[in-house]
Amino acid sequence: MRHGVDEGLRDHVRALLDTYDDGVLPIVQAGHPVLRTPAVPYAGQLGDVLPRFLEAMRATMHAAPGVGLAAPQVGIGLALAVVEDPGSPDADDERERPPLAYRVLVNPRYEAVGHETRTFFEGCLSVHGWQAERTRARTVRLTGQDGAGRPFDDVLTGWPARIVQHETDHLRGELYVDAADLRTLASTLGVARLPGDVR
């Protein structure tokens, strides 16, 4: 039975990739049930389609543009995500935003390291057009596997830690707004017009 399920999912993903042959997939928005359903752990379900799917996720993330994308955001309920951030050129950026090289997260999990937290505006490609302040752990320990199945166990601080928390939460069926300060909710356009641009 599982073999048939995997084949069906693989065929579905292959058809999705063939439909959007430029590699940029549609991003589902809040209200779609896949965003509220915990993702299924990845155990090889996509077989040889996985590299192509990951490349499409990366292309979609860049086109959005964004710094992370989880598989449920393109309608596929598997525990896969991609992240990449050029960082901030401002050495005094209080967000602590060094470059984050492209990486694939398979079945990621995180736990806070220490008790320090940071609060910043955060947005989401699946909650298009809105931002709100969200408090998160400043430093996390991230575990999981890469796209080749190799395990990793890393400690990340600052903005990279925020990115992986956000994407891993997607795989739990959570959105950043679930624990955001909704009194700070603002349209992206409205935030961009604030003095000093607090994004």
Q: Per the annotation, where are the binding residues?
A: 124, 166, 170
Active site residue 167: yes
Active-site entry in 84, 94, 167, 174: 167
Residues in the chain: 199
Q: What is the DSSP string of 139-185?
A: EEEEEEE-TTS-EEEEEEESHHHHHHHHHHHHTTT--GGGGEEEEEE
Contact 114, 138 (CB under 8 A): yes
List binding-site positions for Fe cation: 124, 166, 170
Read off the DSSP letter of residue 123.
E
Question: In the Cβ-directed half-sphere of 8, how many Cα atoms lie within 13 Å?
Answer: 5
Instruction: Report the catalytic residues.
Output: 167
